[in-house]
Amino acid sequence: MASLQALRRKITAVKNTQKITKAMKMVAASKLRRAQERILAARPYAVRVRALLERVSQRVDRAAHPLFAKRPGHKVVVAAVTSDRGLCGAFNANVLRKAVEIIREHEARGAQVSVAIVGRKGVDFFKRRPWPIFRQWPGVFDRLTFEHAEDIGQDLIEEYTKGSFDEFYTVYNKFKSVMQQELLVRKTLPLELDPAEAAPNQAEWGGYLYEPSGKEFLNALPQLVYILTYRVLLESAAAEQAARMTAMDGAVKNAGELIKKQTLYYNKTRQAAITKELLDIVGGAEALK
């Protein structure tokens, strides 16, 4: 039977942990509110940009711009967008598990695969794995801005133009609600139409009129890629805070249940100790008679 002092220390430790998790939940809720506002504001524009790029990619000469060029697919990069900090439930584990699955699928067809990583948790994970690291961007989510998306996008466009890889896939969590995130896999480069998102009536799109010109539109493609990259980062940032708030809420509740159980056990142990002392006193008094 544990001593009363040890039980008191355990209850105090759990209470302190509960205070920490409750504070982390409140911080995550505050960050989630801001992150949610940012992604809900940016998502409609980013969705239309992606749709425009995918439609245009079907109607232009794919040799007109390097980002439209299709290649054999021998060299593949799989990017995992993770968080910089832990304590967010299965948020990172789901992304990393899916990324490994995609990597093995491409290896099975004979492709040479490397990994790109956003977030310190992904960096820590793949450092202990056999796949070569193509690029890594830790610390992005500390103060996420559009400049981070530009830096990442510039690296990808430069390397793709040089022929460093043929295909680039991104694995990340899309924010749906506080309680739910959706794990997505996107083919980022080359730019092409996703069959799952094709319109039922392709004819309704017809041809495009470019203003000021088609050439200048193609020259602006890198900026549009930055916007899509920024959306991925915003989605992941909001999903991370939602996952952390949910995880910390569960931790607070679990700590409360543990405190109740330990307090009940402490009271029973204390009562048993008092009863034993009374019986010893009564037994000693009886022996003196």
Q: Kindly list the catalytic residues.
A: 88
Is the dihedral angle over the CA atoms 237, 142, 93, 49 positive or is it negative? positive
Q: Which two tokens stand for residue 115?
A: 């990994």
Q: How many CB atoms sit inside 10 A of residue 132's CB?
A: 11
Q: Which two tokens stand for residue 154?
A: 């510039």
What is the maximal distance between C-alpha atoms in the chain? 113
Q: How many CB atoms sit inside 10 A of residue 241's CB?
A: 26
Name the pairing type of β-strands 180-189 and 75-81: unpaired
How far, in Å, CA of 84 to CA of 124, rounded? 10
Q: Report the candidate in 133, 78, 157, 134 with the shortest Cα–Cα distance to residue 111.
A: 78
User: Residue 87: what residue type?
Assistant: L
Phi, psi of 73 (to 5 degrees): 85, 25
Q: Which two tokens stand for residue 280?
A: 């010893």
Q: Report the candidate in 70, 152, 165 with the shortest Cα–Cα distance to residue 113.
A: 165
